[in-house]
Amino acid sequence: MTPIIAPSLLAADFARLAEAAQAVHADADWLHVDVMDYHFVPNLTIGLPVVQSLRAATDHPLDCHLMIEAPERWAVGYAEAGAYNVSFHVEAAADPIALAKNLRAAGAKAGLAVDRDTPIEPYLELLPHFDTLLIMTIKAGFGGQKFMPEMLDKVRTARRHADAEGLQIRVEVDGGIAADTIEQAAEAGADAFVAGTAVFGAVDPADACRRLRALVG
């Protein structure tokens, strides 16, 4: 599948999110929106009202990454708000398959996210129910951390499994993705790339997107 570049607004100025979206308008495929609740991760970011406002402010597909507890209570609201893809963490979900079905019924793609300390093997059997698999290449919670190449074994395992089973699932990597790490993630089988610091920490975010795309395109 064509590689997806998904700049993460976590690294943008939260008082200027619409401007950040505008800055990468022509060069980003999805906008990655990190939702954190102070419970699943020790950080608090943005919630549904901001996603609703973003939906009105940009026509980018919104890739909502829910780092929250009890996703069954909140995730469908993001689909109803117009998110393109809603990823929730397998560590937090009581019934991932039921939630995936509910997200799809609400018109969104369903995403399963796997944090740094979680192995992938026990969850491979869930993949037929999902459109995206987000593999953290850092510990979820904060931007600007160092990429962990050892996480790419999970990407390889997931990609091998998906290919063997004929699953049309995107494998997304999130954390420390930059010009010096994106190629190894692509070689491992990732085809969607979240980048926060590498895009919005750059002087020219649009150019940063183009550079990342050129490395995997």
Q: Is 32 annotated as a binding residue?
A: yes
CB 105 to ligand DX5: min, Å: 25
Q: Is 35 in the site for ligand DX5 (CB under 6 A)?
A: no
Tokens describing residue 182: 């994106």
Q: Is 141 annotated as a binding residue?
A: yes
Q: Which of 124, 63, 64, 119 is nearest to 91 (CA)?
A: 119
Our answer to whether residue 163 is catalytic in this structure is no
Catalytic entry in 27, 29, 34, 131: 34
Could you tell me the sign of the dihedral formed by the alpha carbons of 147, 148, 151, 153, in that order?
positive
Residues 6+ apart with CB under 8 A from 99: 71, 72, 75, 76, 88, 93, 110
Instruction: Specify the length of the chain in residues.
Output: 217
Q: Is 195 in the site for ligand DX5 (CB under 6 A)?
A: yes
Tokens describing residue 98: 């039921």
| Binding partner at 176 among Zn ion, ligand DX5, none, C-beta below 5 to 8 Å by kind | ligand DX5
Q: Which of 12, 32, 46, 88 binds ligand DX5 (CB under 6 A)?
A: 32
Q: Is 177 in the site for ligand DX5 (CB under 6 A)?
A: yes
Query: What are φ and ψ of residue 24, in 5° steps?
Result: -110, 20
Q: Is 175 annotated as a binding residue?
A: yes
Contact predicate 6/197, CB 8 Å: no
Catalytic entry in 27, 63, 115, 174: 174
Q: Which of 174, 181, 186, 205 binds ligand DX5 (CB under 6 A)?
A: 174
Burial class (CB in 10 A: 0-12, 13-18, 19+), 1: exposed
What track of x and - describes contact with Zn ion for positions 43 through 72 (by CB under 5 A)? ----------------------x-------
Beta bridge partners of 174: 136, 194
Q: Is 176 annotated as a binding residue?
A: yes
What track of x and - describes contact with ligand DX5 for positions 133 through 172 (by CB under 6 A)? -----x-xxxxxx---------------------------
What DSSP string describes 112-125? EEE-TT--SGGGGG
- Mark the binding-site residues, compressed into ranges: 8, 32, 34, 65, 141-144, 174-176
Binding site for Zn ion (CB under 5 A): 34, 65, 174
Would you tell me which residues interact with ligand DX5 (CB under 6 A)?
8, 10-11, 32, 34, 65, 138, 140-145, 174-177, 194-198
